[in-house]
Homo-oligomer: A and B are copies of this chain.
């Protein structure tokens, strides 16, 4: 991981390295940067993609694992607190050789080819995630 911080410590670019799990890498970057509340953006490419779709009726994720290479056309999301720790929530849209787009909630198992990420601190009280029975997910309370 290579970090390119802003002078005021409120933002940073981060290069995540080949072979790293994308979600784990982003969570490690958030922890290293001390971001408890912030926005995240990422582009790049991966060698494997694992995405989730939340089934609102069954209240569980359906996971799609694709063991092939994709561009990360967009990765956007946020850092907030879950169980007292910085937690990255990122949605991605990935694109294949002919440009066809597929995406969802970024899951563990997505392997990086190269990722360029951007973090910016909110600079305020972090939202805190707690299980929301109506939604079936840990939403900001």
Interface residues in A117-140 by Cβ distance below 8 A to B read 118, 120, 122-127, 132, 134-135, 137, 139-140
* A126 contact set on B, CB distance < 8 A: 4
A110 contacts B by Cβ under 8 Å = no
Cβ of A62 within 8 Å of any chain B Cβ, yes or no, is yes
Q: Are A104 and B71 in contact (CB under 8 A)?
A: yes
Q: Copy number in this complex?
A: 3
A–B pairs, 20, beta carbons within 8 Å = A2-B141, A4-B140, A5-B124, A12-B124, A13-B80, A43-B76, A43-B78, A43-B90, A45-B54, A53-B99, A54-B71, A54-B113, A71-B104, A74-B103, A93-B95, A95-B103, A99-B103, A101-B103, A113-B135, A114-B139
